Amino acid sequence: MNKRIYFYQKFYFRQKLVVIRVMYDNPILFFICALGVFNGFLVAFYFLFFNKQKRVQNFFFGLLVLFLSLRIGKSLYVIFTPREERNFWLIQIGLSACFLIGISLFYYIKASVENKKHIPTSWKTHMGILVAFILIIGVLFPYPYHLRFWGTYFAYFIYLVWGVYLIASGYVLRDVLKKMLVGKTSVSTSELWLIAVFIANILIYTAYLIGLFFFYFVGTITFSVVFYVLLIMFLSKRNREMIFENIPEKYAAKKITTTEADELVTQLKELVVVKELYKSTSIKISDIAKELHITSHKLSQLLNDNVGKSFAAFMNDFRIAEAKKLLEERKELTLEAIGFEAGFSSKSNFYATFKKSVGQTPSQYQKQFLSS
């Protein structure tokens, strides 16, 4: 056991020497990384204290950037400060901040996806427990007197917690990621920003895992690179206005309860039948949503999740029923006229939809009623 610890310390020390030697020979690289950390603090303070839009998302984004900047700043401090001159309490602050990166990312993405207006009490409790835990560990096992504990065992635990929250963040973001990968519908700027922030955190986390065993400075370099990439994306005026907009409500809305869904479906069917809305070829989902006093997104969710049909398929059911009635009773009308009377936009659309739904063409269906 002692040999393993000695080997680890010897390897780790040699690695640090190599990194320091390389970095002192590259002052420009150090300047870029240090500037990235400095700008990170500025961005964090802006979103935490000076941003006019007091949104839950902005608060957690500020925390995320703050904890990342503290962690990266700790790396710079360790590399460029001789061991005998280091303030180990500052190193403890950097590692403690690393413990809170994952939870900040998780709540930032969750608040964005769910369009939170206020921080739930459960979130405050969860965050408070983690903060209390890392403070208690810091008091019971201060870094200056427990270097081996913080440098090995507890460091692994910190990265494990970070990784768990990273996976949880990906799960919360799954619908947005699926939307981007499938590519059937366009991804909004706010969704792209969330994906970019998530990927940036994966890169930084991976870099620090590599740095934990091999090249220590890789995490700092990665942070600087992804920070400047995100900064370029943010600096565009159009992007800056759209990045922090609420993402489409399809991903934010909670599941509609069964009771509410039953009431809405009843109201919806009654509205469509009484006002014969299906007969309008230009009817839109927003028109009906307005009549029901709900959003278009909620109506779309109701149809998809609770009725199991798209808006077009739902309206076509009423048109098919109307077409059947006309085919049975209005024999003087042409098939094309019946299609338009039922609400279909064209003859071809009427024929194709009717055949798919009924299994017969309109003329075949009508023949069985002609003799009578």
Which pLDDT value is given to residue 343? Answer: 87
Which pLDDT value is given to residue 147? Answer: 87
DSSP 251: H
Which pLDDT value is given to residue 286? Answer: 85
Say whether pLDDT at 73 is over 90. no
Q: pLDDT band at residue 135, thresholds of 50, 70 and 90?
A: very high
Rounded average pLDDT over 241-265: 67
Which pLDDT value is given to residue 201? Answer: 87
Q: What gap in Å lies between CA 305 and CA 283, rounded to an integer?
A: 21
Contacts of 105 (CB under 8 A, 6+ apart): 64, 165, 166, 169, 197, 198, 201
Which pLDDT value is given to residue 99? Answer: 93
What is the H or E stretch that residue 116 is in?
none
Q: pLDDT band at residue 231, thresholds of 50, 70 and 90?
A: low
Q: pLDDT band at residue 1, thresholds of 50, 70 and 90?
A: very low
% the chain with pLDDT above 90: 17
- The end-to-end CA distance of the chain, in Å, is 97
Of residues 216 and 340, more confidence is placed in 340
| Total Cβ atoms within 10 A of residue 132 | 10
Q: What gap in Å lies between CA 9 and CA 148, rounded to an integer?
A: 9
What is the H or E stretch that residue 298 is in?
helix 296-301
Q: 183: which 2 tokens?
A: 């590519």
Rounded average pLDDT over 349-359: 87
Residue type, 67: F
Contacts of 100 (CB under 8 A, 6+ apart): 63, 67, 130, 131, 134
Task: Decide if 152 contacts 8 (C-beta within 8 A).
Answer: yes
Report the chain's mean pLDDT, rounded to a whole number.
79
Which pLDDT value is given to residue 230? Answer: 63
Alpha helices in 146-217 (DSSP H): 147-148, 154-172, 174-182, 189-213
Which pLDDT value is given to residue 131? Answer: 95
Which pLDDT value is given to residue 6? Answer: 45
In terms of phi and psi (left: phi > 0; alpha: psi -120 to 50; beta: otherwise), the region of 116 is: beta
pLDDT tens digits, one per residue of 149-194: 888 889 889 999 999 999 999 999 988 888 778 765 566 777 888 8
Please tell me the pTM assigned to this model: 0.60
Of residues 326 and 234, more confidence is placed in 326
Of residues 1 and 75, more confidence is placed in 75
Angstrom CA distances, 209 to 137, 195, 213, stand at: 22, 21, 7
Which pLDDT value is given to residue 42? Answer: 87
Report which of 226, 234, 156 is spatially closest to residue 189, judged by C-alpha positions: 234
Which pLDDT value is given to residue 363? Answer: 86
Of residues 117 and 198, more confidence is placed in 198
Which pLDDT value is given to residue 213? Answer: 58
Say whether pLDDT at 51 is over 90. no
Quote the Cα angle for 267-269-274, to 5°: 95
Q: Is 243 exposed, middle or buried (0-12, 13-18, 19+ CB in 10 A)?
A: buried
pLDDT tens digits, one per residue of 97-130: 999 999 999 999 999 888 888 899 999 999 999 9
Task: Decide if 301 contacts 250 (C-beta within 8 A).
Answer: yes
Phi, psi of 40 (to 5 degrees): -60, -45
Q: pLDDT band at residue 323, thresholds of 50, 70 and 90?
A: confident
Say whether pLDDT at 58 is over 90. no
Rounded average pLDDT over 308-332: 86
Say whether pLDDT at 13 is over 50. no
Which pLDDT value is given to residue 138? Answer: 93
Which pLDDT value is given to residue 217? Answer: 56
Report which of 325, 348, 232 is spatially closest to residue 273, judged by C-alpha positions: 325
Q: What is the DSSP string of 59-73?
A: HHHHHHHHHHHHHHH
Which pLDDT value is given to residue 17? Answer: 47
Q: What gap in Å lies between CA 151 and CA 78, rounded to an integer?
A: 12
Q: What gap in Å lies between CA 128 and CA 300, rounded to an integer?
A: 38
Q: What is the DSSP string of 306-361?
A: II-S-HHHHHHHHHHHHHHHHHHH-TTS-HHHHHHHHT-SSHHHHHHHHHHHHSS-
DSSP 120: -
